[in-house]
Amino acid sequence: MVPLLVVLLLALILFGAGFALKALWWIAVIVLVVWALGFVVRPAGSDGRKSRWYRW
């Protein structure tokens, strides 16, 4: 009985980790797209020139 519970618990943990990693990959892709769009679509500054969208 105990080995069966250990296997089921391990399967549950690995399934949860796999789901979390897949979700993190999707978040990383979305952040990468937004970051890349920031270089293409930049707001114009007060003097009419294109300004930097980041502070550093």
Question: With a threshold of 0.85, does the pTM exceed it?
Answer: no
Query: For residue 45, what are the contacts with CB-CB under 8 A and spacing of at least 6?
Result: 51
Mean pLDDT to the nearest integer, 43-49: 58
Quote the pLDDT of residue 50: 59
Q: Rounded to an integer, what distance in angstroms lies between the CA atom of residue 7 and that of residue 26? A: 29
Single-letter code of the amino acid located at 42 = R
Residue 44: phi and psi, rounded to 5, are -75, 140
Average pLDDT, the chain: 78
pLDDT in tens, 3-18: 888 888 888 888 888 8
The pLDDT assigned to 30 comes to 92
